[in-house]
Amino acid sequence: MNFSRCTLPLQRILLGLQAIQFFYLSFSYLNGTYVNQFDMLERLFKGELAQICTTTGCWQSLTPFVGSLYGSVAILCVLALFFRAGRELRLVIINIASVQIVMATVRLAIVPADFYPDGMQWQLSLTQFVIGALLLLAAALPYPQSKEKAVLR
C-alpha cells in the first residue's frame, strides 16, 4: 500500500485543525478585550494573578495584539490549504510547527512556574510539543511521485 497518497490530505487536515485552533484563540482574546473578561486566561493562570491582570487592565492592553497574531497565523493556515504538494507547503507546515514548539519552550524556559496552577505549565507545553511534533512529522512525509518523475528515473 502506498501511504504517500495520504500525505497531502493529512497535511491539510492538520492545517485546518490549526486554523480552527488559532481562530478560536484569536476570537477569545479579541472578544475578551472588548468585554474585559478573560475566562480562558483566568483558568490558565493562578487566581490572584489572573484577577490582578483583569482588574488592572493588563490583559486588556496586551490581548488585542496576541489575538491579532493568532488571527494572522490562522489566515496563513487557511491560505496554505490551497497550496499544492511541495516544498512551499512543507515550509509553511514547519513554520506552524515552530509556532507551537517555540511557544511551549518559552513557557517552560522563561515564564515563572509560579504563575500557573500546579501542572498547568507542563500540560500546556506538552500539548504544544505534541502538536508541533505531529506537524513536523506531517511535513516530512513523502508525496507520491508524479508519472513524469518516475519515467525520468
pLDDT digits (tens, 9 = 90+) for 59-96: 999 999 999 999 999 999 999 999 999 999 999 999 99
Per the CB < 8 A criterion, the answer to whether 138 and 89 are in contact is no
Q: Give yes or no for residue 97 having a pLDDT over 90.
A: yes
Which position has the higher pLDDT, 148 or 115? 115
pLDDT value of position 146 = 65
User: Rounded to an integer, what distance in angstroms lies between the CA atom of residue 55 and that of residue 102?
Assistant: 29
- What is the pLDDT confidence band of residue 148, given thresholds at 50, 70 and 90? low
Question: Is residue 3 a contact partner of residue 140, using CB atoms and an 8 Å limit?
Answer: no
Q: Which secondary-structure segment (H or E) carries 42?
A: helix 39-44
Give the Cα separation of 141 and 4 in Å (integer).
Answer: 7
Exposed, middle or buried by CB within 10 Å (0-12, 13-18, 19+), for 2? exposed
- Please say if the pLDDT value at position 149 is more than 60: no
% of the chain beyond a pLDDT of 90: 69
Q: How far apart are CA 126 and CA 128, in angstroms?
A: 5
pLDDT of 152 higher than 70: no
Three-class secondary structure assignment of 90-112: HHHHHHHHHHHHHHHHHHHHCCC
Cell of 13: 487536515
Least confident of 16-30, 48-62, 71-85: 48-62
Task: Tell me what pLDDT residue 134 has.
Answer: 97
The angle subtended at Cα 65 by Cα 60 and Cα 67, nearest 5°, is: 85
pLDDT value at residue 75: 97
Confidence of residue 42 (pLDDT cuts 50, 70, 90): confident
Indicate if the pLDDT at residue 3 is higher than 80.
Answer: no
Cell 482588574 sits on residue = 55
